[in-house]
Structure 1
Amino acid sequence: MFGSIFYNLWGALLAFSTYFFLNFMGPTAPIMIIVKSFIAAVIGFLVTYIIRFLISYVLYTPEEEQALEEEAEEASMPSSATAEEFAEENPEEVAKAVRTMMDDENKIAS
């Protein structure tokens, strides 16, 4: 889930404070203002929990699980390059290609 329980507590505190200060100077009895403020705090707590759940649902990325499954499938498949194909390559040609690439690098670096 996104965030922690502290987000819920902050939401409850904000709901309590908002309701309390909006009704503080009204003609309502003080005990009723406090009781209704606590009810607003509980509602704020639950609403924040729902918002956290929705954010975590939106941010959830199942691509990692799919990537792991694809890697497992690729690992189980035999490699397309066999030892026979590598044996066909001439080591002298490979060495010549490597020397050519190294010479090109030295020319660029100079």
Structure 2
Amino acid sequence: MMFGSVFYNCWAALISFTIYFLIAIINPFAMPISTLIIASIVAIVGFLLMFPVRYLMGYVFYTPKEVAFNEETASHTDETTTIGQPLTEQKSTSTVEFADESTEDIAQVVRTMMSKDDDIMLSR
């Protein structure tokens, strides 16, 4: 799996062409046709070298999908794993801890905790 798209390769080609072209025209004896031809060759090389770079980035940033327990695997595995421990179903949990409580109750708890912290700080 490669990272990004061919658009990244186009950017690499454009950047390599520009860098070579700017370095080449500093020379006061630079010929325009040969400079453009060599800069185009450098752009093609930059385009092609971006493929292994994208592949390496895809390898580095690869995140495997999480395999969750399902009922089909339970019937085939005899309800135990290979080391003899029972399988348990994973429950998907929300990142919001106070989903069932109202916001007013949560705000009141926070105010109470902050006032207790203020009392502790003042007593010291």
Task: Report the identity percentage.
Answer: 35
Aligned to 2:95: none
Tell me the distance in 1 between the aligned counterparts of 2:74 and 2:65: 15
Q: 1:73 to 1:42 in 2, by over 3 A?
A: same
Unaligned runs of 5+ in 1: 81-108
- Stretch of structure 1 that moved more, 50-59 or 12-21: 50-59
Q: Secondary structure at the match of 2:37?
A: helix
What are the residue-to-residue correspondences of 1:48-63 with 2, within 5 Å?
A: 48-61=50-63, 63=64
Question: Greater RCO between the two (CA within 8 Å, min separation 6)?
Answer: 1
> What number of residue pairs does the alignment pair up?
78
| Deviation of the 1:46 alpha carbon | 1.3
CA offsets 1:16-71 (integer angstroms, 9 cap, x no match): 0110011113112111100110011011111212110111122224x438x36x75
Q: Which has the larger radius of gyration?
A: 1
TM-score (norm. length: structure 1):
0.58
Post-superposition, which runs of at least 4 consecutive aligned residues in structure 1 deviate over 3 A? 70-75
**Matched residue type, 2:9:** N
Unaligned runs of 5+ in 2: 81-104, 106-124
RMSD, matched Cα = 2.6
